[in-house]
DNA sequence: CTGTGGGCAACGTGCCGACAA
DNA sequence: TTGTCGGCACGTTGCCCACAG
């Protein structure tokens, strides 16, 4: 395949991707949604797939796949994180990992870490970078306070393994930690602006790593000249259909910060939502979102409808099959449709004893249930 | 379709594209090669299409299409020129434009024009831009030589219709034309380096236009995170196959400076080469190439073989069906395979009287002839 | 005719503590 | 605790001509 570049540092990648992004375990089974993959292209090219696209009647709306490999990458130009996944549609007879608990998703938490949103002063050419006190004490090597002023040279590596050198000094009245020499080179090289965030990590070997998260997610530097967006959408569907028909491997790219929702879902997470939970109109739920300061919080809402997002092209699909309303007024940002496995209902999930029994009797009457059966369960 | 952006200035676009690029006339019939389109993706992503790609046995190696529209574009980030073409496969019964002469290709020549390759001094921060004397006199508005020194403000628009302001002054001992204030802003905004070229045009309204041609054609800022290259290749083939099966329109992007060869060829040019010329091993020919100083010159070579480039996937295709050797030793740059219509044989082309008669009797025994028959002639 | 370099003034960059939010 | 500012030194930018290829 085309993953000749080796995977990047996982801790740093996840720190840049944000707190809500977790990737399925290599070797596990996942559910892949061509529909969601298409949405990622729409989000990146800002071109809707139109009606000219042929119908791949063979292709189910969800494919159960073996996840053979995941490699972590970052865009050379912008440092935007993405990953490549090698998937292989599986004959669903071998439902080996059926309803396994949701263990082992790749999301190493890192404590020796800090993230700061850059101020106007941080990014101006007039001065350096003001380090929050606790951050400096937590992740940077301790200064020798016998020197006047205390100062040291820091070396940090970014996602591309480039080294960045900074002078770290503790001075001013009152005293504060600053990055001076080297900081402006970094800011201009990465084209950082006020509002973007930088994050520093000390890894297990004591090495410093640094990454960035841009406030302005919209990168209009689109590869317009390469392929028409129609051909991209067709390419996604045709590649998935071909892999499905021949049970062969195929590669996809997942861009967590550009994609509206994850379209490769651990099968356990999918099954738990589809087979053990009840959803009905009027039901209350919570859902996690990333906040402006890169932490996560839950918003609450109500299910207002259940049905197909695209009844013509993708009938009986679970992808975004719930229409929802949000409690808070400024909800223009949040999607009007979500998938079952993205939300946490307030009601206690149904607890089952025998999987086989439960599946037969308790499968809810949500769209796509029969389709899911055909697709091998 | 997705051509909501209107076409750019055609004169400027062609000046940036170079002397060898000419586009087929809108409304005319063309021959589209999926194989060549795939090569463009390979050139841009530097990833070969591999064997996993499904076979579209329906899809001929060349499609006769109606060219419904051509819109000219330039990459926002790099100003690299490309165009979108709207094609529709035609039922070859209506061979209306059959063997029409090669008239009316879009390639406006522009005389009020100059192009200069930038020197180290031009791009350094130490000074401005030294304008060749004849160039300044030909395309810039005349200076008022009663002033001491003579100077004026120039305004030029680039491909994106952005305005650039320059101070044009005639001074120094000996006197020379210079661009001073405003020049370095332009150089850094466009990220120009010594060796790149700038070109100025005065259009019919007397407006100044300016464009750039980069020496280093390789732009490694690839949109890696969007789609796997396999999916792109599949997308191209599937889109073409779908359009062919349904006789519907489809959109392609052609990037003349990245693509190894043009893969949308006027049908007259194609027919002339395929039906009225003889090619044989050992035959001598000439072919045009762009030189380093952006003009064109001819290289000579010999046909060393005739046969399929990819006998498995694209049997009987005319695409690059000639193996060639080049006379000059430093020929590493030039392709080892070319298509019939790219070269000019030294022998006089066969002159025919009745097209129908000629076609039946004089069709050469080159690969793809039967395929071409099936594809509707 | 035009590419490079020295001279020089104006400007921007970047380190410092003061101050206040 | 940390964001912004005035002060200030120094490095860079950019306009000029001289000189030579």
> B236 vs A231: CB contact, 8 Å cut-off?
yes
Average pLDDT, chain B: 84
Residue A80 (CA) to nucleotide C15 (C1'), in angstroms, measures: 32
Report the alpha-carbon distance of residue B131 to residue B123 in Å, rounded.
13
B20-24, B169-173, B347-351: least confidently modelled range = B347-351
The pLDDT confidence band at residue B2, using thresholds 50, 70 and 90, is very low
Model confidence over A113-134: pLDDT tens digits?
999 999 999 999 999 999 999 9
Q: Tokens at residue A67, please? A: 């996840």
- Which residues in chain A are closer than 8 Å to B223, comparing Cβ atoms? 222-223, 226
The nearest CA of chain A is from the CA of B77 a distance in Å of 6
Residue B210 (CA) to nucleotide D8 (C1'), in angstroms, measures: 42
Report the alpha-carbon distance of residue A345 to residue A336 in Å, rounded.
17
What residues contact residue A113 under an 8 Å CB cut-off, 6+ apart? A15, A138, A139, A199, A200, A201, A202
Report the alpha-carbon distance of residue A127 to residue A183 in Å, rounded.
9
The pLDDT of residue A224: 66
Closest partner CB to A234 (pick from B222, B235, B248): B235
Mutate to test the interface with A, among B53, B70, B239 (most CBs of A within 10 A): B239
Mean pLDDT, residues B73-99 taken together: 81
Q: B76 — contact with chain A (CB < 8 Å)?
A: yes
Which of chain D's bases lie under 7 Å from a protein CB?
Answer: 1-7, 12-20
A4-8 contacts: CB < 8 A, separation 24 or more? A5/A71, A5/A73, A6/A71, A7/A70, A7/A71, A7/A72, A7/A73, A8/A72, A8/A73, A8/A74, A8/A159, A8/A160
Residue B302 has pLDDT above 70, yes or no: yes
- Which residues in chain B are closer than 8 Å to A77, comparing Cβ atoms? 221
Please give the residue that has the higher pLDDT: either B346 or B225: B346
Strand C atom within 7 Å of A130 CB: no
Domains detected in chain B: 10-109+221-374 (no CATH), 119-194 (2.40.330.10)
The pLDDT confidence band at residue B54, using thresholds 50, 70 and 90, is confident
Question: Which residues are B168's β-sheet partners?
Answer: B152, B179
- Residues in chain A with pLDDT values less than 70: 1-5, 51, 92-110, 217-224, 331-332, 347-377
Q: A73 — contact with chain B (CB < 8 Å)?
A: yes
Residue A221: closest C-alpha in chain B:
B77
> B2 vs A250: CB contact, 8 Å cut-off?
no
Mean pLDDT, residues B94-104 taken together: 50
Q: B86 — contact with chain A (CB < 8 Å)?
A: no
Q: B79 — contact with chain A (CB < 8 Å)?
A: no
Model confidence over B124-181: pLDDT tens digits?
999 999 999 999 999 999 999 998 899 999 999 999 999 999 999 999 999 999 999 9
- Put the strands of the sheet holding B197-202 in their side by side order: B113-117, B197-202, B208-213, B151-157, B163-171, B176-179, B129-131
HEC per residue, B26-41: CCCEEEECHHHHHHHH
> A2 vs B44: CB contact, 8 Å cut-off?
no
What residues contact residue B218 under an 8 Å CB cut-off, 6+ apart? none
Residue B290 (CA) to nucleotide D19 (C1'), in angstroms, measures: 36
Closest partner CB to B73 (pick from A47, A224, A258): A224
The nearest CA of chain A is from the CA of B234 a distance in Å of 5
Report the alpha-carbon distance of residue A338 to residue A325 in Å, rounded.
10
Q: B230 — contact with chain A (CB < 8 Å)?
A: yes
Model confidence over B201-222: pLDDT tens digits?
999 888 999 999 998 765 655 6
Residue A233: closest C-alpha in chain B:
B235
Closest partner CB to A227 (pick from B80, B253, B258): B253
């Amino acid at each position: 395949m085309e993953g000749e570049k080796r995977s990047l540092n996982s801790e740093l990648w996840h720190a840049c991707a944000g707190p809500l992004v977790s990737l399925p375990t290599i070797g596990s089974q996942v559910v892949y949604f061509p529909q969601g993959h298409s949405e990622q292209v729409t989000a990146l090219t800002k071109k809707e797939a139109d009606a000219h696209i042929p119908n791949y009647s063979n292709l189910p709306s969800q494919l159960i796949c073996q996840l053979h490999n995941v490699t972590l990458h970052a865009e050379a130009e912008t440092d935007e994180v993405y990953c490549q996944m090698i998937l292989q549609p599986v004959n669903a007879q071998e439902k080996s990992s059926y309803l396994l608990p949701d263990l082992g998703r790749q999301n190493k938490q890192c404590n020796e870490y800090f993230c700061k949103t850059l101020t106007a002063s941080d990014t101006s050419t007039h001065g350096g970078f003001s380090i929050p006190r606790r951050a400096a004490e937590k992740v940077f090597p301790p200064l020798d306070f016998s020197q006047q002023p205390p100062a040291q040279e820091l070396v940090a590596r970014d996602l591309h393994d480039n080294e960045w050198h900074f002078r770290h000094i503790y001075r001013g009245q009152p005293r504060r930690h600053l990055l001076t020499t080297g900081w402006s080179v970094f800011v201009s090289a990465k084209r950082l602006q006020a509002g973007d965030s930088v994050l520093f990590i000390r890894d297990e070997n004591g090495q410093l790593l640094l990454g960035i998260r841009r406030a302005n997610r919209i990168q209009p530097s689109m590869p317009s000249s390469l392929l028409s967006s129609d051909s991209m959408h067709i390419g996604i569907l045709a590649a998935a259909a071909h892999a499905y028909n021949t049970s062969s491997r195929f590669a996809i790219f997942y861009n967590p910060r550009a994609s509206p929702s994850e379209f490769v879902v651990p099968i356990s997470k999918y099954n738990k939502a589809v087979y053990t939970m009840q959803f009905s109109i009027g039901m209350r739920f919570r859902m996690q979102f990333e906040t402006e300061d890169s932490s996560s919080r839950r918003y609450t809402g109500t299910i207002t409808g259940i049905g197909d997002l695209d009844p013509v092209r993708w009938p009986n699909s679970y992808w975004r099959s719930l229409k929802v309303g949000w409690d808070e007024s400024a909800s223009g940002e949040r999607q009007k449709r979500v998938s079952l496995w993205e939300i946490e209902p307030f009601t206690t999930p149904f607890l089952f004893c025998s999987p086989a029994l439960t599946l037969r009797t308790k499968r809810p009457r949500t769209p796509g249930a029969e389709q899911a059966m055909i697709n091998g369960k």
